Amino acid sequence: MILEMTIEEAWGSIEHLFKEQFIETEDADKYDFNPDISVFEAVEEQGRLRTFVAMEEDEAIGYYMVATYPHPHKDVVTAREECFYVKPEYRGQGVCTELFSKVEEWLRDQEVEIFFVTVKFGQTDSLITKLGFEPEETVYKKYL
């Protein structure tokens, strides 16, 4: 079951998933896990952020946070994920597809025309293309 929640409602259920994602995909060897949910709350207060939580009975097994933005070069509303994650033992079972479906439903209601998704290399590429996304650009990072 996918639930739409505020970040405040969801945080107690997804904080451990946030940490799992951080350890799995981020720079846990360089930075401490220290999320500032007030950043998400500020975007949410503007009506531009939604959090969707995949539940298995009473346990959160995945989440998707998405935000809408006016496009800087076109007269359209766009969206991008803030973060999404599904516990490894639930991957390949349609959970991520269900999350994307609920997110896209909400985005259509918000009259979003372009949905951008960023993924880590090799992690969800095949799923993303199956869902109809096309490569747009490559993002690089450099530590300063």
Angle between helices 7-25 and 37-45 (to 10 degrees): 130
Instruction: Tell whether the model's pLDDT for residue 127 goes beyond 90.
Output: no
Q: What is the pLDDT of residues 28-64, one digit of tens each?
A: 788 888 889 999 999 999 999 999 999 999 999 999 9
Residue 75: the pLDDT is 92
Phi, psi torsion values for 51, nearest 5 degrees = -120, 130
- The span from the CA of 40 to the CA of 25, in Å, is 19
Distance between CA atoms of residues 70 and 76, nearest Å: 6
**CATH match for 2-130 among 3.90.1170.50, 1.10.510.10, 3.40.630.30, 3.40.50.620:** 3.40.630.30
Average pLDDT over all residues of the chain: 90
Cβ 72 vs Cβ 8: under 8 Å:
no
Q: Where are the domains of the chain?
A: 2-130
> Residue 124 — very low, low, confident or very high, per pLDDT cuts 50/70/90?
low
Query: Who's near 95: CB < 8 A, 6+ residues apart?
Result: 54, 61, 62, 86
pTM score, whole prediction:
0.89
Among 3, 14, 28, smallest CA distance to 102 is for 3
In the chain, the percentage of residues whose pLDDT exceeds 70 is 96
User: Across the strands, what pairs with 4?
Assistant: 52
* Interval 59-84: pLDDT, tens: 999 999 999 999 888 899 999 989 89
